Structure 1
Amino acid sequence: MSDAHGELIAKLSKLLTEQNYNPAVVANHRLYARAFLDYLAERDLSVRTVAPLQIEQYFSHAIQRFRVRYGRDPSSRWHKLPHTAIRKLLRLAQGKWPPVPEVIGPDAALRHAICQEYETWLHEECGLADATIDALMREARHFLDWQFGRGGADGLRALSVRDIDLYMDMRTAGLRRISLARVAAWHRSLLRYLHRTGRIPTDLTPHVIGPMLYAYEDVPSTLDSGQIAAVLEVTAKDRSPRGLRDYAILQLLATYGLREGEICKLRLDDINWRAESLCIRHTKTNACSYMPLLTPVGEALLDYLRFGRPQVEGREIFVRSCAPYTFMQNLYGMVRQRLSAAGINPPGKRGPHVFRHARAVELLRASVPQKIIGDVLGHRSTASTNSYLKLATEDLRAVALDVPGSEVLS
């Protein structure tokens, strides 16, 4: 092995060790990385210029060697660890992996330019949240690939209502009504931008037809107070580092009704222990609000920070319970597992938002004004808060008026 490859293997080992990987996992990663580097050396290929196609060729070669050695095909999970090791190795060697697709030809360059300008417009002029921009950009790339594949750059200026109908028929096949409405809204946003920038001569947004969604037509999943108490009680019994982390997250969900992203992005600096307050960065509005640090939440956070949180340099509070110790980006699986462990199976979705819905209903039943509920939940308008009214069905029944003429005469 060359000195350069030896240095790269050493860097990989150092990185994995710093991320607190098990020594056996580090040894396996070294083994897989070394085998890949040997393959490149035999073919006089540089690790700094390796492309995805060459990775596929390597695994075809590795599978063939496996068959010769063991007389059978490898299992479906056999290549998972080698893939992970090689990806980490290539990130060290090239700085980024997978590489950014190369822009080739005038049509591809134009598509790329439109996407970059559209993303900048969504950020700087529309002020949308990152998650919303990601969804809009996915739809934009999908449409531009489809349209340029049919008629190239010239086809964009000749875009017609018939083209819009064809795309929507293709794009929305098999989607539910709410998903259809989202795709239509994303598509209108792109067409509006293309018209504003003069890339299409006619404003075609009125011709993107999505389904009519009626107010309060879809009642979301929620939990009652007994179910919330049960899942907190069961999770509190798990004193492992992961259990301490999950209990602190569930306390935040149940107490404040925070969004998933607001919890994942919560940082150590956001807790003011002396003032007993918590700074929440609302992911949809990019605004900050300050909540009182209530005793159950504070105690749960303190337990996790003392006895459950791995020693990492990052300032995010909640990190993965196994290496690599990066901050958490998704709570759905954790919430679903904790609900299942408590024997709770609400209808519909079972992610972190069920706690947010439950908190909204609790505040409504306590006669808290909608404006204050909206402030607690980080809503920009009362219309967003109104959607939670449909969950308080028992309260609505209690104030329902009798229908005239419905009395039974004796």
Structure 2
Amino acid sequence: MPTPTHLRLRTEDPANLLWPFVGLFLEHLSQGRYHETRRRKYIASTLHFGDWLRARRIAPENIDEKCIRRFLSEHGSGCTCTYKTPSSPIIMRAALNNLLRVLRAKSLIGSPTPNAVETELSRFSSMLAEVWGLSPETRRQRCNVIRRLLAGKRDDGRTVLGNLNPSHLRAFIMGDERRKPATIRNIASAVRCYLRYRALLGDDIHHLQRAIPTPSFKPALELPRGLTPIELEQLLCASTTEGQTCKRAHAILRCLADLGLRTLEVTRLTLDDIDWQNGLVRVPTVKARRSDIMPLPAVTGEAIANYLVPERPATDCREVFVRHIAPIGEPIGRRAVQRSLHKAYQRLGWNRTRVHILRHTIASKLVNDAVPLKQVADVMRHRSVVTTAGYVRVDQARLSAVALPWPGDNS
């Protein structure tokens, strides 16, 4: 018995305001290899949005993020339409954001005009790249800080530095009392960098510079501890036991544990970076505009090869690790790397969340094996041995456990 029309998702409606764009949207979803069920939900959400646009007399060329937010808040949660629509706001938001990207990519609607703050951040980011040579991730983090700082600080379409005063600047950096000193230092560093940029443009920033707090740096009371060899072996075994992407998870953990890669370095590793014949790998560092050549351990290369051949989806993408859900074949993000490790923690029943612990593990092992500090710094890809020195501070608790009694001491 066929399902009644009012109980099926509506995926066809030639009279709908957005129907002319459904074909392009379907092509985009097909290229991303979205599942058929997800495609039906996205098209139904699009037609639902089209009905709302017609009722509000909003033309398709005026669609933007603000319009989507208004639809979701006014109509999406309290829908009284007679036909079936996707009930999840998350699904509808994802569908309409994808639709917006498709329409802008095809120049069917205009791109949003950048406001004064975004224009300022674009220039600031260019200066960070061209003059100071900072990596894209560092530029992104600093621009995010300055975006929050400049919120509302504009006049007639221009950002006005005069609207910033020392008390506001200090309150912004210090935040609430729960903010950690390391966070304060990072925010202060971004603000200090921005003020240097404004000084190069001719602004007087001395009164603002003096307001930037400088929290004292206190080394951690405890040494950064890594995993024991037994714990590391358990973790690597746990990454191969379950899941449709277990080979990808195991290869990711091998890159973290054997090469000491950072999360973003794993996501940016490409097929062209691996020299299989000579057993080398080029690591595209995220800290600066350079790459480092490292030996590729046999177990790491085997784990990557086991992922590439049977499990990695067919794709033109050159990144080693790609998505297994729509859009299939696109490079993974840092969250996918973190989830791979977190799932292994959960299978072992460990109350851990840190990814960086694997870098501590490899550094601690090298230090305990009496490897010279300069060589440890090379493996960790630290530009200064001062950074590496944090791994070789004296651990009083461990030292006392192996201390010999003083000659003649009978106590």
Tell me the TM-score normalized by structure 2.
Answer: 0.83
Partner of 1:274: 277
Conserved 8 A contact 2:223-2:395: no
SS in 1 for 2:197: helix
Partner of 2:169: 164
Partner of 1:9: 22
Taking the aligned partners of 1:310 and 1:130, their CA distance within structure 2 comes to: 28
Cα gap change, 1:388 to 1:203, in 2 (>3 Å): farther
Conserved 8 A contact 1:280-1:290: yes
Taking the aligned partners of 2:200 and 2:283, their CA distance within structure 1 comes to: 36
Among candidates 326, 341, 357, match of residue 360 of structure 2: 357
Among candidates 230, 234, 237, match of residue 238 of structure 2: 234
Identical pairs, percent: 24
Conserved 8 A contact 2:17-2:53: no
Partner of 1:261: 264
* 5+ residue gaps, structure 1: none
Cα gap change, 1:391 to 1:51, in 2 (>3 Å): farther
Taking the aligned partners of 1:85 and 1:162, their CA distance within structure 2 comes to: 43
Taking the aligned partners of 1:3 and 1:61, their CA distance within structure 2 comes to: 17
Residue 368 of structure 1 pairs with residue 375 of structure 2: no
Partner of 1:84: 94
Residue 40 of structure 1 pairs with residue 49 of structure 2: no
Following TM superposition, by how much is the alpha carbon of 1:393 offset from its aligned partner in structure 2, in angstroms?
6.6
Among candidates 309, 312, 315, match of residue 315 of structure 2: 312
Taking the aligned partners of 1:4 and 1:391, their CA distance within structure 2 comes to: 70
Alignment of 1:1-400 (within 5 A): 1=14, 5-59=18-72, 60-66=74-80, 78-95=88-105, 102=113, 109=116, 111-145=117-151, 147-148=153-154, 156-157=161-162, 161-169=166-174, 171-202=175-206, 204-217=208-221, 219-220=223-224, 222-238=226-242, 240-325=243-328, 326-330=330-334, 331-346=337-352, 350-390=353-393
Residues 65-90 of structure 1: CA deviation (Å, up to 9, x unaligned): 338889xxx99x72111111111112
Following TM superposition, by how much is the alpha carbon of 1:96 offset from its aligned partner in structure 2, in angstroms?
9.1
Following TM superposition, by how much is the alpha carbon of 1:228 offset from its aligned partner in structure 2, in angstroms?
0.6
Taking the aligned partners of 2:403 and 2:210, their CA distance within structure 1 comes to: 39
Residues 134-182 of structure 1: CA deviation (Å, up to 9, x unaligned): 1211221222225558x9979734855444334445x344312221222
Conserved 8 A contact 2:104-2:111: no
Following TM superposition, by how much is the alpha carbon of 1:265 offset from its aligned partner in structure 2, in angstroms?
0.5
Count of aligned pairs? 393
Conserved 8 A contact 2:169-2:212: yes
Taking the aligned partners of 1:355 and 1:382, their CA distance within structure 2 comes to: 19
Cα gap change, 1:96 to 1:328, in 2 (>3 Å): farther
Conserved 8 A contact 2:255-2:300: yes
* 5+ residue gaps, structure 2: 1-13
Taking the aligned partners of 2:133 and 2:327, their CA distance within structure 1 comes to: 33
Residues 56-115 of structure 1: CA deviation (Å, up to 9, x unaligned): 343323444338889xxx99x721111111111121112399987645xxxx63x44432
Taking the aligned partners of 1:113 and 1:83, their CA distance within structure 2 comes to: 27
Following TM superposition, by how much is the alpha carbon of 1:322 offset from its aligned partner in structure 2, in angstroms?
1.7
Select the structure that is richer in helix: 1
Residues 286-317 of structure 1: CA deviation (Å, up to 9, x unaligned): 32122222221111111111111111221111
Following TM superposition, by how much is the alpha carbon of 1:197 offset from its aligned partner in structure 2, in angstroms?
2.2
Conserved 8 A contact 1:270-1:279: yes
1:83 partner letter: R
Tell me the TM-score normalized by structure 1.
Answer: 0.84
